Amino acid sequence: MTGAPLDPHLPYPATLLDRRQLSVDTALFRVAPEPAGLGALSRLVPGQFVQLSVPGGGEVPISPADLPGADGTLELCVRRVGHVTQLLHDAVPGQRLGLRGPFGTGFPVREMAGSPVLLLAGGLGIAPLRSLLFHLLRHRDEYGEITLMYGARQPELMLFREELVALAGQGGVRLYLTVDFAPQKPAGDFSCAVGLLPGLLRGFSFDAGSSYAAICGPPPLYRCLVGELEGAGVAPERIFLSLERRMRCGIGRCCHCAVGQMLCCTDGPVFRLSELQQIPEAL
């Protein structure tokens, strides 16, 4: 060791192991970090994010879909939506990647202990909440009732559907699925409710006073869901939202991601609703 300070911009190397296509534009990438990164990643908390580098493309902030496996591999659920993610989708196993992080705050899994937890996911927002769900289920005895409500635009875009249904079948989590639109399907095919998440939540009876809620989804979803949750009596201190901003550096310097006077990359991306209520432009 030379004692030189580490370069916070320098990713540690990682390799793409394999991929599983989840929908037409979204896949789950399994990534193996080299030993240099294992220590940092072992401290990952559900809801935190990593900066994923695809050489030649650049970097994107991704909240892993699960905590690292026993071998340190990371599951990243990524939609093909821009330059870097297109390159990732074009990559074949063995592709060299880079990782930095984890960065930011995660969901307060300790604070949630003993309480019912309501997870509300819209679209790709299922990725960080899958990580939280798996964590809760691995420590099932420490939490109250666990409920996942997941809305997607249409059945084909519902990610992890079979996996989630199987989990619900084991009894650890109450699962509610809904889609905005459902084309006609032959009899016998899987089906779920048609409607928006706020509607699903409206008809749901739960112990609002003691529950925690964790929300992740596209920006327009938050205002509606927050209104429903507060209407039902969930305290703003117990509502956690994972916000999306353009986080370039991940270490509070590039200044693209301010939410009020907080920075999404270091003070978030998981915020308490009570922290955001005085900031009209947060949601």
Partner 1 sequence: MEISYLKNHHLAQFLETLRLFGALHGPTVSEAGVASFAPITEPASLRLDYGRTLIPPKKYLLPFRENLLQFRDGSYQSAAPAAPEIVLFGVHPCDLDGIAYLDRVFMADPPDPCYAARRAGLTLVGVSCAPDDYCFCSSPPGSAPCDLFLTSCEGGFLLEAKTSKGEAVASAARELLLAPPSPPPTEASLECCALKPQDPQLRFSDHPLWERFAELCLSCGACSVCCPTCYCFDVREYSGLSGGGVRLREWDNCLFQGHGEVAGANFRETRLERLRYRFLHKYCGFSPLQGVVSCVGCGRCKAACPVDIDLRELIAPGVPDPGGLS
Q: Which is nearer to partner 1, 193 or 196 (CB)?
A: 196
Cβ–Cβ under 8 Å, residues 16 and 91: yes
CB of 274 to partner 1, least distance (A): 16
CB of 275 to partner 1, least distance (A): 12
The terminus-to-terminus CA distance of the chain in angstroms comes to 45
Residue 86 within binding range of partner 1, rule CB under 8 A: no
Beta strands 212-216 and 117-122, pairing class: parallel
How many amino acids of this chain bind partner 1 (CB under 8 A)? 44
Residue 278 within binding range of partner 1, rule CB under 8 A: yes
Integer Cα distance of 136 and 120 in angstroms: 14
Stretch that binds partner 1, among 10-18, 62-70, 167-175, 195-203 (CB under 8 A): 10-18
Other Cβ atoms within 10 Å of 243 Cβ, number: 19
CB of 169 to partner 1, least distance (A): 33
Q: Which is nearer to partner 1, 167 or 265 (CB)?
A: 265
Q: Which is nearer to partner 1, 116 or 122 (CB)?
A: 122
Residue 11 within binding range of partner 1, rule CB under 8 A: yes
CB of 88 to partner 1, least distance (A): 13
Residues whose CB is less than 8 angstroms from the CB of residue 232 and which lie 6 or more positions away in sequence, other chains included:
201, 206, 208
The residues in 12-51 that bind partner 1, with binding defined as CB under 8 A, are: 13
Stretch that binds partner 1, among 89-97, 112-120, 133-141, 143-151 (CB under 8 A): 89-97
Q: How far, rounded to the nearest angstrom, does the alpha carbon of residue 202 sit from its chain's CA centroid?
A: 23
Integer Cα distance of 248 and 254 in angstroms: 6
Which string of x and - marks every residue 225-254 that binds partner 1 (by CB under 8 A)?
-------------------xxx-xx-xxxx
CB of 135 to partner 1, least distance (A): 26
Nearest to 75 by CA among 66, 85, 84, 62: 66
φ, ψ of residue 228 in degrees (nearest 5): -65, -45
CB of 24 to partner 1, least distance (A): 16
The residues in 166-205 that bind partner 1, with binding defined as CB under 8 A, are: none
Q: How far, rounded to the nearest angstrom, does the alpha carbon of residue 185 sit from its chain's CA centroid?
A: 29
Stretch that binds partner 1, among 4-12, 40-48, 104-112, 127-135 (CB under 8 A): 4-12
List of residues contacting partner 1 (CB under 8 A)? 5-11, 13, 53, 55-59, 81-82, 95-98, 218-219, 244-246, 248-249, 251-256, 258, 260-263, 266-267, 278-281
